Amino acid sequence: MFRRNVPAAPDTLAPPELADELLDLKAAVAELTVRERELKDALIASGITEVEGERARATVSTHERTTLDVEAAKEKLGPAWCRRHSTTKEQTVVRVSARKRVD
């Protein structure tokens, strides 16, 4: 899964190594996210509401969640209202993707 058993401190890696390790981590996180969903689904399907393991306690609960249909709000309230009630912040984004192999 990971290329290193003990990750090097980021400040000791060259930028190409940072990019490669970031790609490795993203792949590992994707696999772990799938496994997390499988385990959660199994707990939900079991019908239990709580369970104690040797190292963890898990609970299953149901609650309501309200979401706002942003597109409908924009249409109903108009673009000027939406601009007045919106905030814009600068953010920095790092994206990583596998390089195409050139043989």
Q: What is the DSSP string of 32-74?
A: HHHHHHHHHHHHHHHT-SEEE-SS-EEE----------HHHHH
> What is the average per-residue pLDDT within 3-17?
81
The verdict on residue 98 lying in a domain is: no
Extract the tokens encoding 50: 């709580």
Q: Report the domain count for the chain.
A: 1
The verdict on residue 89 lying in a domain is: no
What's the domain range around 74? Answer: 10-84
Q: Check: CB of residue 47 under 8 Å from CB of residue 62.
A: no
The verdict on residue 56 lying in a domain is: yes
> What is the average per-residue pLDDT within 25-44?
97
pLDDT band at 99 (very low <50, low <70, confident <90, very high): confident
The verdict on residue 101 lying in a domain is: no
Read off the pTM: 0.71
pLDDT in tens, 61-95: 999 999 999 999 999 999 999 999 999 999 999 88
The verdict on residue 92 lying in a domain is: no
